[in-house]
Structure 1
Amino acid sequence: MSLGLTATATRAYIDLTDETHRPPTPTLQFPVAPVQLLPIPHDEPPVKRRRVDNTLTRRRGLKECLQEQVLPHVSQVVRSLPEGVYYVNNLAVQAVTALARTAKFRTRLDETNGYLTRQDEAVIAVRARDEIARLTKLPEYRIPVESPPIQSLIRTTNPLGPGSEVAPKQIPKPPRASQPTTNQEPHDLGDFDRLPYRLRTKRTEPKSNNPYFHLNNRPYQTAASRDAIAKGALHPLQPPHHVPSQPTVYHVDFTSDEIAQIAECVSEYESEAVPATVEALAERCHIYDIPKTVQGKLKGRTTEDIRNFCSDLLAGQATPLSDGRMLSMSRDVNNQRAEAARASRVTSLLLAREMESNIGFGRTRQLVNFQNEFTKAREDDLQVVAEFTNCAGDITTGSWVSSDNLICGTTAHSDTHNQQYNKPGNLLLCSTTEGTLRSFPNHRIPRPRVEKGENSTEAMRRSQDPWLYSSVVSSDYDEDFDLAFTSSFDKTVKVWKVNPTGRSMEALATWQHTSIVNFVIAAKDGSGRVATAADSPSEAVRVYTVNPNDVAESSFQSLSCTRTDADGSDKWAYFPATLQWGRAPGTQNLLLIGYSPRSTSGEDLDIPEDKRNSGEITLWDAAEGRRLPVMTASTANVFEVAWHPKVACFIVATTLCTFTIDHNVRTQIHIFRRDRERQDGAYSQFQALDCFASDINELTFRPNSVRHAYITAACTDGNVYVWDTAQGDKPIHILKHGYPLDEFYEDREREDTGVKFTAWGSSADRFYTGSSDGKVKVWNVRNRRKPLVRDLLEAPGPISFGTFSPDRRKLAVGDATGRIFIFSVDERDVPESHFIALPGSSQRVRRSKPLIPHPEPPPPDADRDAMVEDDDTMDADEDDSESDIAVYSRNTYLESQQLTLNRNPVIGAVQGPKYAATGLFRREAHLNSDPALPLLADFERNQLVSTAASHGGRRRSVRRLRAPGSPDERLLNAHYENEKQDLAVMDMPVWTLTQLREAGAVLNPEEDWGYEYEETPRSPSPPRRYE
């Protein structure tokens, strides 16, 4: 800035005295601008003057605003203070300064150009009163009270005689603090010389960033309590408002210094010093009362904390000193912050791209890929637009047949001990545009006869559906042929043609198999090949080639496991555990199959111990009809396989194949590539990744560069392990889910389903996982410190299925309670049929919709012998007699005298002499729920015996009363007057009703006012008068 535009300003002052004298306003002395002394050249045009709009209001400065609109309110508060107690001038100056520094005042000053409104002044008056009240409590603003001089006695060395006196010594009076004078001429800023700059020295040590050193209390919880806190509630709860948003520490492990202090306290009772180790203290917990011995000697630790620590020592659950942790909890506000950040992210990106094109470094202050950022922002708008309920069981599979239609399958109860819970809804077709979920009855079998258990009785057979609906466990869609495929436990694979509207689908063919079919996968090369895998020891895998003219008669090839270890055994065999078609160009004709040993009875003990970790990897070339060699790790137990989407490469999750591994490694993921040196198309392993879980559910393959990729493994321990092949064999992330919603007893990895859903978003910055804790989480694996983005869903049951639509606009998620959630990036995808209007309000809310049931299919045409589970048949006469429910009931209940027929046909069958043998009692109707005790009064009075006893043996006739005549004028007038006295609550004004409800008035005429009623028989009708 040039010297011609500067001026010397005077020091601002505040005068709070009542004197009328005001200091003269100093005249500002502006130095002559050097620009004016320069000669003006005559050969140039005159300088243009700046155009000024005189109609605009002049902006008032901060000083004028403070003097006219802030200082009067501060002065009014200061005048009310007692005289001679406070430094009023200092109080006023500090109060004005504090008010002027607030952000709210600065904002309003800019918005009003220095002219505050009356509402602003009212707020300033209140803040001025509060600020003065705060400052008056500080000692630096109080005038010290003058105390009388203190006389001190001077001790002399000479002994005191009878007449000697002690001369008091006057202590000088402390100097009075000088009071600043405000009525002085303000100094010019130019009179002060600039002092040399000097760094401020810190008088205290810098505070540590470790929160441990800022804790006043260090609580300690037992291992069981910590597990219970970490497990949390079974269902999401709304936290109360008093829960702090900042982390609250609830557990701090003992440090080595604290262990040493405890050992020092215990050493006082022994001849030698106790070692400062956890093991030494655990040995002495049985001998000494350590909590009482150490009471009050550990800072921040209570007696209860030490007692909990000793309890963990005795149980062997104390945390090692090297693994000490500090646990805290807080309200989850990350989702709210993330939503606000996402909302503002799009506008920021649009502005940055508009200002600086696609450079991506400027206003963003970082390298930004705009295409990727906009894709993430769009995907982060995923929200639930539809919810469907009442499916048959766990949602296990689903395939999008278009961007709007989805075909799903569920589990069903089909075992002999739970067939009574079997119900329709195992095969579903969802239309997201219409908001419907329709069920289809095609995957069913005749209900088999059960010979043992509660389902073996004829009454259960007659009361249940003659059809048993089977679990639908796999599905796929072939876009080239526009065909959908579903496999089920009914030993079939069905081929479907889905209506584009999503309202119906037609079964074109049924492919029968020798056992239940676990997998059906369609190739994506347009060849029409479909691979199926059944639970069969031989020829379990079939490769169908769809015949468009006759789908039911499509030809197939059968494949078997080449291992012969289980030949001759009927207890176990090698079954297909997984199979996948290739995805990259040149590999879409290759079928990768993984085999694992499994017992036919479900008992792992039937498998030889040396064969439990064995298996086979088979690579089948369907185009040439031959096997391709797979080198290394091809004989291990296979969990899951996955193909690379761009390169001839696949991964296989297996048990350990070598003994030279690190500690805690329990499984491995092997990466195979095409061996260029071999001419037979063999694949060889070039890298193995270590995994710490014992069982793997799903694998994903996401390339992140030309040569490397992200690999994920979803496991039954509730974790997802993430590797970057460019960063070695160890996982870069262990994405953890919470405790499962369903209880487990011993080993979670064996009893829990774990993570069942993993999927990549539109980019490598978004990764989705769903686990048995009922949550779907969104991660960013590129963020090494905080990969969690947000929780997308909290379902009432474990997550069992999830898949994205082909255009990545929708996401379908299923849980173990039979619910399907549909997510979309566009909130306009919510079907209109899912909205309902709240009673008495115009607000509409979205509600879940149950599935649309299918029409009940006709009963099977086969005779009853076709429904027998085994080959044993019964006698024809006995079968005919049992087929009649009337004959069965007579033989079971009447001939056994459990029931007897009353002579009155209206009454029918009643309890017989041997009714107790049935055990059919309403225990809640008896005293103490014991059938041997008497009935309760409410049930006793409804018995036929009690009713007859109350009426007596003689028949009584009801007296007929004369019908009343029409009322006269007097009665009508009285009736109208009585009606006027009634309280018409609904006729009151609205404001009156509102005030009465706020006052707690009871307006419901049905209110019983809290009176208790005796348990006496209730008369169903008014008492009658008998003659």
Structure 2
Amino acid sequence: MSFGLTSTVSRSLFNHGQVPPAPIPLLNALRRPTDEPPSKRQRVDQPLPRKRSVKDCLRDQVYPLVQNATAGLKHDDYHLHALTIKAVTVLSISKFFRRRWDETCGYLSKTDLGILGSQARDIVAQLTEGSEFRVSPTPSSPPQPRLPRRATQQAPTQGQELEDSETSEEYSETEESDESEDSDGSEDSEGSEESDLPELEEVGESEGLPQFRAVNVPEVSQELEEVEALRRFSELVKEPRRLRVPHTPQNCTAPEPPRVPEPEIPEYINRQPCKSRERRQPNPQNRFYQITKKPYLTAEYRKAIEAGTRLPVDASTASIASEPIVYHVDFTPQEITEITEKLWRPRNERLEPTLETLMQWVRLGGQTLPAPSGRSLRDMNAFGADLWEGRVAEIPRVLSLSAERVSHQTEKREGQLRRASRFSSLLMAREISGNQGFQRTRQYLNFQQEFNTLREDDMEVVAEFTNCAGDVTTGTWISNESFLCGTTTHSDTHNQQYNKPGNLLLCSASQGTLRAFPDHRIPRPRVEKGENSTEAMRQSQDPWLYSSVVSSDYNVEDDLAYTSSFDKTVKIWRVDPQGVHMEVIATWQHTGNVNFVAAAKDRSGRVATAADSPTDAVRIYTVERGNEANSTYQTFSCSRTDAEGSDKWAYFPATMQWGRAKGCQHLLLVGYSPRSLTGDDTEIPEDKRTSGEIILWDAEQGMRINVFTASTANVFEVAWHPTLQSFIAATTPNSLSVSARKVKTLIHIFQRDKERLGGGGYAQYQSLDCYASDINELTFVPNSPRHAYVSAACTDGKVYIWDTAQGDKPIHTLSHGKPIEEYYGDREKEDTGVKFTAWNTTLDRFYTGSSDGVVKVWNIRRLREPFVRDILTAPGPIAWGGFSPDTSKLAIGDATGRCFILSIDDRDAPESHFMTLPGTNRRLRRPQQLIPHPEPDPPGAEHGDDMDIDTELDDATYARRTYLDTQYIRLTKNPVIGAVQGPQYSETNLFCRDAHLNQDPAAPLLAEFERFQKASEADSIGRRRRSVRRVKIPAPPDERLKAVHAKNKKQDFTLEQLERGEIDSLVKAGALLSIEEDWGFVYEDEDMTSSDINAASGNAGRNKKYII
């Protein structure tokens, strides 16, 4: 927060008193900015002489000239001290002396001294001609009182003047000593606050008291005036006076004046009783007239304060008053009249109550101005300094300071000027010294990084959109000109009446539009209890219930966007690069609310999803172009079995990230945490609340990779290193790894362990201590080839920063303000905290957004003051943020349904967002509402009147689209065998690798699994021999077949073709001449052993041999 007060004030040039001017704590406590090193001073041959003050010049050079001019005068005839002071004063205000003092820096030349000496002799000669400085003889007899016609204040005697001077000097010394105790005691400050003119001592003439005489005047008005004069004179002579003279003072007492009889007023004169004139009191409604002290500052101080108010003040470091502070009050005409009446006047002369009179009085070296009520001696010194310079305000004013927010235009203008100056300095330094960045800049600089920093500091809000359905919690940039985002909605049974469209939006930054899309919705279910269960509520509400869109991602290679929602679906979108339109091309159904969707960046087309499902919660789809709806997927689940058999809680995916560096982009990192199925965390066993699991899945091989150390704790968030095969995971601590009491969470850093695990697993090598109970987001950015910065955005409204090269403790704790929304109890449990953290093009700028509604910029490379500035103050908590691909724009979403676009170029602001005020040329940027989508048709008749049926496909349709249409499996014609592996089954990677040799699906089965397979076949097929299937009776042959048959039949062998002797020899040898002979064997339906089978095979072979 910035306010319109800053900068210290400079000291005044003239000061006519020994009391230093009053400091202003609110302004003196401010520090000057130290963002840049001090500028190098130019080297000169001889140092410039220091300018001498007017006081020193008068004392050292002018005062001796006046003493020489008055050397011939006698003390008995003239008041030499007063005459000397008068002559020095006249010389000091002359134009010649002022001009030469300024030109010579206070060191007058011999020629100047000669001219001033001649002027001093002339001035002394003029002063001695009059009677002002002559010594008058002491009166021999006491004076007789005489009534003047009008009462005037009498001139004090010389002794009285000396006594008053002593009293004023004692008061000045006392006040100065009191203030010096409060000051820091520095010699420079004391010296600079002294007056530039010699001290003036009041010396009056020794005149006798005036003579009074009684005069009877018949006129009533004259008698009243005489009575008033006598009253004033009696008050004057009754005032006590102390005389300060070196000899015994001479007592002068005035005789009592004669009593004047009260005049008689005729009866025919009807007059009101005479009343003294009262001053008109100011309007009591103005609080500035009710102040008791009226400070006065010199014109130099007022000018410095006015200049300082143009600079902002950090409200977090400076003490800002809640009410306006009055720091200057000009003298009013009444006060000037009061001061004039109290001045000493020789020969009863009347002084005009004007500023000119007081100005002439001060310049001629008169006595110190008396202070009216409410004014201090310090105020009178400042007033005298302005009178000397002629800089008193003609119209009285009351100046005050108040804390007000600095306008956006002022901040923008000052930032542009500061960055332009810095940019020019860097260009000149690089032009002169090259890219070394040390010679002229006097510090090590990376010019490329400095230019990027200046570029980022130009970022400001260029567009704002409103009226979204809820908290903008997710988003992804499609191009440099468009992004899509999703919001949460009210979908519970008790708040469905607040559900509205606008949950999925597409923004075009170039055209300045935000369009809504209705695709993530379900038919509104019937509510049986509560206010939404009435028929009137059902009839008045939308038949569709818009679901929360909680995750989104974009794949550049496929040019497809993905959104997941609580409608249990993931939708695939084809988006226009300009953000004008997008269309859904496929939908993936799930068994629960889909919390995460992420696309791999390895050009494989894999997309991972995570749903609220106790089993097979994570799916990895392989997108097929042209057939995205039927894309295949592989699943895996949490390996912990603690929640099996429980219907109250289970382990669900809490976070999911794909690898970012080369060599690990096919690895999916998933963190599990326990969660209640009903939303009540007390249903989770206490010893299981800090449990969880880290699963690292290889999508190419379809297998899990081992992760050692801290892989069984509750996982909050994970993040991958952008260039190394390393990742971090925020988990709950365990008793073995935490010894400090303040450590509530741990951030583990894992890397591939090539030595112990053979390069196939990840192990922890460092652990960072965090003092927050819950972590929202992690960032992992390198600052060197081996080390990195790690940030953790937490629910306590703080961001903890670590440098892995500096140990396990955070190097910074970046704090946000109090949340906008009220909370009760523990903030870490009730508040959302910091939800947005991001780095841009340089490590000198780190962006955070929290529940206080502020997006802050930090420079964590500063050790003591990392805060840079606030770039956005939203009306609600910050819920999401993301940079465009070219890092020139930043999109921010808050919890009030607003979406902001910030850009480094103010030309990106759409013209349609500006309006011109009537009658002026002033243009204002106004928030724009989203463009609503057409109202969708109500649910069809297939849903019924109750609308309880979800749109999810039945199991048969889903199985057909997923497996049969993709030819992963096929159905055989034999209904007993059913479905078997299809031609594309190998693409599913659904193999039991543990059952094969070397975990290769193409290798043979292991003996144990093969035995189980044979047993399964025996159980399913059975041991009974099955009859051979009968051959169908052929159709009657045609003529062609008959000819072929006759030809083949002629080739048949018959015994008739043999000679008789050959037949006899075959019979003797035991040959089987007829195979159709019945040998009388009986068929036995028994199981045959392997020996029987082998014997039968041998006999069959021998019989076959005999037949041949």
Q: TM-score range by the shorter chain?
A: 0.5 to 0.7
Between 364-373 and 700-709, report the one with greater CA deviation: 364-373
Task: Give the C-alpha shift of residue 832 in structure 1.
Answer: 1.4
Spell out the pairing of 1:289-304 with structure 2 (5 A cutoff): none
Q: Structure 1 residue 672 and structure 2 residue 730: aligned?
A: no
Between 818-827 and 334-343, report the one with greater CA deviation: 334-343
Cα distance change, pair 865–843 in 1 and its aligned pair in 2 (3 A): same
Secondary structure of residue in 2 paired with 1:358:
helix
Cα distance change, pair 98–824 in 1 and its aligned pair in 2 (3 A): farther
Tell me the C-alpha RMSD between the 2 structures. 3.6
Q: Deviations over 1:338-396 (max 9, x none)?
A: 55432321111112122222221222121111100000000110011111110000001
Secondary structure of residue in 1 paired with 2:890:
strand
Aligned residues of 1:580 and 1:591 also touching (Cα < 8 A)? yes
Q: Structure 1 residue 248 and structure 2 residue 325: aligned?
A: no
Q: Structure 1 residue 569 and structure 2 residue 640: aligned?
A: no
Cα distance change, pair 566–481 in 1 and its aligned pair in 2 (3 A): same
Aligned residues of 1:540 and 1:559 also touching (Cα < 8 A)? yes
Cα distance change, pair 681–589 in 1 and its aligned pair in 2 (3 A): same
Q: Distance in 2 between matches of 1:492 and 1:712?
A: 32
The corresponding residue for 1:834 is: 913
Aligned residues of 1:91 and 1:135 also touching (Cα < 8 A)? no
Spell out the pairing of 1:448-847 with structure 2 (5 A cutoff): 448-659=525-736, 660-677=738-755, 678-679=757-758, 681-847=760-926
Aligned residues of 1:773 and 1:798 also touching (Cα < 8 A)? yes
Counterpart code for 1:386 = A
In terms of Rg, which structure is larger? 2
Spell out the pairing of 1:44-193 with structure 2 (5 A cutoff): 84=83, 86-89=85-88, 93=92, 140-143=198-201, 145=203
Spell out the pairing of 1:423-434 with structure 2 (5 A cutoff): 423-434=500-511
Task: Give the C-alpha shift of residue 145 in structure 1.
Answer: 2.9
Q: Distance in 2 between matches of 1:602 and 1:730?
A: 34
Q: Distance in 2 between matches of 1:703 and 1:761?
A: 13
Cα distance change, pair 241–715 in 1 and its aligned pair in 2 (3 A): closer
Task: Give the C-alpha shift of residue 841 in structure 1.
Answer: 2.0
TM-score, normalising length: structure 2 = 0.52
Cα distance change, pair 464–85 in 1 and its aligned pair in 2 (3 A): farther
The corresponding residue for 2:113 is: none
Counterpart code for 2:739 = I
Cα distance change, pair 457–335 in 1 and its aligned pair in 2 (3 A): same
Q: Deviations over 1:383-440 (max 9, x none)?
A: 1111111000000100001111101000011000000000000000000011100000
Task: Give the C-alpha shift of residue 83 in structure 1.
Answer: 8.2
Cα distance change, pair 866–357 in 1 and its aligned pair in 2 (3 A): farther
**Of the two structures, which has the highest relative contact order with CA contacts closer than 8 Å and spacing of 6 or more?**
2
Q: Distance in 2 between matches of 1:357 and 1:629?
A: 51
Counterpart code for 1:346 = F
Cα distance change, pair 144–350 in 1 and its aligned pair in 2 (3 A): same
Aligned residues of 1:86 and 1:136 also touching (Cα < 8 A)? no
Q: Distance in 1 between matches of 2:941 and 2:693?
A: 42
Aligned residues of 1:248 and 1:330 also touching (Cα < 8 A)? no
Task: Give the C-alpha shift of residue 585 in structure 1.
Answer: 0.5
Q: Distance in 1 between matches of 2:539 and 2:808?
A: 60
Q: Structure 1 residue 861 and structure 2 residue 940: aligned?
A: yes
Secondary structure of residue in 2 paired with 1:726:
helix
Secondary structure of residue in 2 paired with 1:786:
coil
Q: Deviations over 1:761-787 (max 9, x none)?
A: 211111000000000000001001100
Task: Give the C-alpha shift of residue 799 in structure 1.
Answer: 0.3
2:441 to 360, 364, 369: 364
TM-score, normalising length: structure 1 = 0.56
Task: Give the C-alpha shift of residue 866 in structure 1.
Answer: 6.2
Query: Structure 2: 5+ residue runs without aligned partners?
Result: 1-48, 55-61, 63-80, 106-191, 207-244, 249-308, 323-401, 951-1108
Task: Give the C-alpha shift of residue 247 in structure 1.
Answer: 2.5
The corresponding residue for 1:411 is: 488
Q: Distance in 1 between matches of 2:100 and 2:693?
A: 75
Counterpart code for 1:587 = C
Secondary structure of residue in 1 paired with 2:707:
coil
Counterpart code for 1:803 = G
Cα distance change, pair 503–102 in 1 and its aligned pair in 2 (3 A): farther
Aligned residues of 1:90 and 1:141 also touching (Cα < 8 A)? no
The corresponding residue for 1:401 is: 478
Q: Deviations over 1:900-927 (max 9, x none)?
A: xxxxxxxxxxxxxxxxxxxxxxxxxxxx
The corresponding residue for 1:58 is: none
Cα distance change, pair 97–529 in 1 and its aligned pair in 2 (3 A): farther
Secondary structure of residue in 1 paired with 2:645:
coil
Q: Deviations over 1:243-270 (max 9, x none)?
A: 999933889xxxxxxxxxxxxxxxxxxx
Aligned length: 607
Aligned residues of 2:844 and 2:858 also touching (Cα < 8 A)? yes
The corresponding residue for 2:497 is: 420
Q: Deviations over 1:58-93 (max 9, x none)?
A: xxx999xx9xxxxxxx9xxxxxxx985944535754
Aligned residues of 1:87 and 1:141 also touching (Cα < 8 A)? no
Q: Deviations over 1:814-868 (max 9, x none)?
A: 0001001001111111111111121112332211110000000000003564645
Cα distance change, pair 367–469 in 1 and its aligned pair in 2 (3 A): same
Counterpart code for 1:422 = N
Cα distance change, pair 362–455 in 1 and its aligned pair in 2 (3 A): same
Aligned residues of 1:483 and 1:496 also touching (Cα < 8 A)? yes
Q: Distance in 2 between matches of 1:248 and 1:543?
A: 57
Aligned residues of 2:479 and 2:578 also touching (Cα < 8 A)? no
Q: Distance in 2 between matches of 1:730 and 1:98?
A: 68
Q: Distance in 2 between matches of 1:240 and 1:436?
A: 36
Aligned residues of 1:474 and 1:488 also touching (Cα < 8 A)? yes
Q: Distance in 1 between matches of 2:896 and 2:672?
A: 31
Counterpart code for 1:443 = H
Secondary structure of residue in 2 paired with 1:574:
strand
Identity among equivalent positions (%) equals: 62
Aligned residues of 1:136 and 1:142 also touching (Cα < 8 A)? no
Cα distance change, pair 636–98 in 1 and its aligned pair in 2 (3 A): farther
Q: Distance in 2 between matches of 1:503 and 1:104?
A: 71
Q: Distance in 2 between matches of 1:104 and 1:528?
A: 82
Spell out the pairing of 1:332-411 with structure 2 (5 A cutoff): 340-411=417-488
Cα distance change, pair 87–534 in 1 and its aligned pair in 2 (3 A): farther
Cα distance change, pair 859–358 in 1 and its aligned pair in 2 (3 A): same
Spell out the pairing of 1:829-978 with structure 2 (5 A cutoff): 829-862=908-941, 865=944, 867-869=946-948
Query: Structure 1: 5+ residue runs without aligned partners?
Result: 1-60, 67-73, 75-81, 107-133, 149-169, 174-237, 252-328, 872-1027
Secondary structure of residue in 2 paired with 1:377:
helix
Counterpart code for 1:555 = T
Secondary structure of residue in 2 paired with 1:351:
helix
Cα distance change, pair 377–97 in 1 and its aligned pair in 2 (3 A): farther
Q: Deviations over 1:550-569 (max 9, x none)?
A: 00000001110000000000
Counterpart code for 2:504 = L
Counterpart code for 1:459 = A
